[in-house]
A = this chain, B = another copy of it.
Amino acid sequence: MSSVFPARPVSALDRLATPCLVLERGRLARNLARMAATLAIRRVGFRPHLKTAKSADIARLAAPPPEGALTVSTLREADYFAHHGWNDLFYAVGLGPGKLGQVGALLRRGVRLLTLVDHVESAQALHDFARREELPFRALIEIDCGDRRGGVPPQSDELLAIARALGAGFAGVATHGGQSYAARDRAGFAAAAQAEADALRLAAARLQAAGFPSQILSLGSSPTALADVDLTGITEVRAGVYMFWDCYQAGIGACELGDLALSVLAEVIGRPAARPHEFLIDAGAFALSKDRSTAALGDGRDVGYGLVCDLDGEVLPGLRVEKVWQEHGLVVSPIPLPAERFRPGDRVRILPNHACPTSAAHDRYFVVNGTREVLAEWTRVNGW
């Protein structure tokens, strides 16, 4: 990885303009290695989801091009990663007919873009578009394994109708056990992982019997990807937030707080004299997001809008971002704050509730490795 880092540090955490994203390189590497090792031991393919990281610099560590296979959440990500050398991309959001023009542009450039459909009309539109444009395409059918977001049930009649509409473009099945986010322990993650695998195998068996053999059986979420269930027949696993983890994932037991690689660097901008338990920082709703996922976890694991760390990344016990306005965050302490700390100009780092929306507000990561030295800037691809 040495080529990524300049010989001299780019800057330091006490000089960066705030608010901004800080990424701990060592923790990122450990999270990537743990997932890769787990899946390698289980002899299943891996297609990391870049919906959280949205960065070629990070994707290069997780699944380097040109062989690396990636999952993306927008067609802008697909375009960006194709531009940066990846050729095997899965756009894992149900494809609406309105996006066929963008899909066609990628296919025409030779990108091996897998798409996802869960409705016979979408499948027919994709098939007809590809035939008219004389473009090869490959699509997976989305299976609902209990998440009740997108997808068709594996035992449904629609499953076969969609495969027939796709015709030669049919490539397999995919599912996402999003219900794992509602689990609170390893047994819960394993149950969701089992539901993912069972749903895909049932769908693939029915499709096979109808003359549609699946090349790809793709499943995953960060909590389920690390669960120990039988993956016989499954060809690949997807996961995204595991690269950074966050307070919500720590709260449900999918990781430890010490695994969190992402934080928001902020400056103390207010210290009200009459409110000795509080200070204001320049990271508010925009820099942290208004995601309150941990509210569902109850007292003790609810971090408000984020846990507060010192500039070196050490968690400051009891301090959390209690309230946010657009550009202000209010940090509240359970005990009166010492007079000499958290003065205007002091800096803190906030561990976010949910890493995905927090990251999405920022255009780059400032990469550190256990010290205050900034080793690199890695840019992101946001929006659509």
Contacts and interface: CB of A to CB of B under 8 A. Distances in A.
Contacts of A158: 273
B344 A361 contact: no
B290 A357 contact: yes
A98 B356 CA distance: 27
A344 to B, nearest CB: 5
Given A149-B328, A345-B125, A270 B17 contact: no
Contact of A98 (B101, B286, B345): B345
A93 B282 contact: yes
A206 interface: no
A150 B356 CA distance: 28
A345 B267 contact: no
A93 B290 contact: no
Interface stretch (A27-35, A116-124, A182-190): A116-124
Contact of A274 (B97, B153, B178): B153
A51 interface: yes
A384 B287 CA distance: 9
A357 B99 contact: no
A327 interface: yes
A44 to B, nearest CB: 24
B93 A269 contact: yes
Nearest to A241: B326
Interface string A8-30: 00000000011110000000000
B73 A121 contact: no
A289 interface: yes
Contacts of A152: 272-273
A383 B362 contact: yes
User: At the interface, is chain A mostly helix, strand, loop or mixed?
Assistant: loop
Contact of A344 (B122, B149, B286): B122
A95 B125 contact: no
A149 B289 CA distance: 18
A96 B327 contact: no
A271 to B, nearest CB: 6
A372 interface: no
A289 B384 CA distance: 14
A122 B119 CA distance: 58
Interface string A243-287: 000000000000000000000000111111111000010100111
Given A17-B384, A328-B149, A344-B122, A273 B156 contact: yes
Given A125-B345, A290-B290, 18 more contacts: A17-B99, A17-B102, A73-B326, A73-B327, A93-B328, A94-B280, A95-B269, A96-B269, A97-B344, A97-B345, A119-B271, A121-B343, A121-B344, A122-B269, A149-B280, A152-B272, A178-B325, A285-B291
25 contacts: A17-B101, A17-B384, A18-B96, A18-B98, A18-B99, A19-B384, A93-B269, A96-B344, A96-B345, A97-B345, A98-B267, A98-B345, A98-B347, A99-B267, A119-B344, A121-B345, A122-B345, A125-B345, A150-B328, A152-B273, A285-B357, A290-B292, A326-B356, A360-B361, A361-B383
8 closest pairs, A vs B, by CB?
Answer: A97-B345, A96-B269, A96-B267, A94-B269, A98-B267, A122-B344, A150-B270, A93-B327
